[in-house]
């Protein structure tokens, strides 16, 4: 049941997002769009409550409960970012909005990667907190190995994101050198005869 609910929440997330953006850009109803988009957190609340009830009713904690915690952590930490990311692209594609800009080189790219890593770290910490709460809730008598396994996976998520962001800081992508055509246009001394 938990896996089905996670799938329903994910489908619901994208359906609410599509409906909210359709109201904003096609129906020209920005207030209704905001109201619809504010329903997104209700999905996570429902998932949290159903997972807690499932554990309270004596279900053995397993990978499904861990996945629910990870999904909630992701939604809390990255849900708003995902909505904004999609919104900018839909506005550009269908409503004449500005082109989405993601820095590609140097310190701006490294800063972008650190901000993204911070969101992923927050998602992992939230998931680990929910998992720890479930471990305490189940108590010493219950089998909590699968929940602890998910906590270890969240440590990997943190580590991988810190390594990626660190790599952009230590080895920043450089702006490519101008090609021969660009040098000729600039009047580069090597192209003069």
Tell me: the pLDDT tens digits for 82-132? 999 999 999 999 889 999 999 999 999 999 999 999 999 999 999 999 999
Higher pLDDT among residues 188 and 153, named by residue: 153
pLDDT of 190 strictly over 60: no
CA distance 130 to 157: 16
**For 3-17, 72-86, 175-189, which range has the lowest pLDDT when averaged over its residues?**
175-189
Sequence-distant (≥ 6) Cβ neighbours of residue 186 within 8 angstroms = 178
Q: How confident is the model at residue 57 (pLDDT cuts 50, 70, 90)?
A: confident
Helices 2-25/63-95 angle, 10° precision: 10
Instruction: Measure Cα distances from 29 to 102, 103, 125, 156 in Å.
Output: 28, 31, 36, 42
Q: Which of 112, 94, 95, 90 is nearest to 103 (CA)?
A: 112
182 pLDDT tier (thresholds 50, 70, 90):
low
Section 75-88 average pLDDT: 94
- CA triple 30-72-34, angle to 5 deg: 5
Question: What CA–CA distance (Å, rounded) separates 59 from 52?
Answer: 10
Mean pLDDT of 19-27: 93
| Residues whose CB falls within 8 Å of the CB of residue 157, separated by 6 or more in sequence, listed in order | 120, 123, 124
The per-residue pLDDT for 193 is 42
pLDDT at residue 144 above 90?
no
């Amino acid at each position: 049941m938990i896996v089905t609910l996670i799938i329903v929440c994910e489908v619901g997330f994208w359906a609410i997002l599509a409906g909210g953006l359709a109201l904003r850009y096609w129906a020209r109803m920005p207030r209704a769009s905001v109201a619809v988009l504010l329903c997104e957190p209700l999905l996570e609340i429902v998932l949290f409550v159903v997972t807690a009830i499932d554990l309270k009713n004596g279900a053995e904690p397993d990978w499904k409960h861990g996945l629910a915690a990870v999904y909630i952590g992701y939604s809390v930490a990255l849900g708003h970012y995902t909505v904004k990311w999609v919104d900018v692209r839909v506005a550009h594609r269908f409503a004449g909005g500005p082109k989405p800009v993601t820095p590609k080189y140097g310190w701006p790219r490294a800063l972008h990667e650190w901000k993204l890593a911070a969101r992923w770290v927050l998602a992992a910490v939230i998931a680990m907190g929910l998992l720890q709460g479930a471990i305490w809730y189940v108590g010493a008598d219950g089998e909590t190995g699968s929940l602890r396994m998910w906590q270890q996976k969240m440590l990997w998520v943190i580590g991988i994101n810190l390594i990626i962001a660190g790599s952009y800081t230590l080895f920043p992508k450089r702006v490519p050198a101008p090609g021969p055509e660009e040098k000729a246009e600039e009047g580069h001394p090597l192209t003069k005869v």
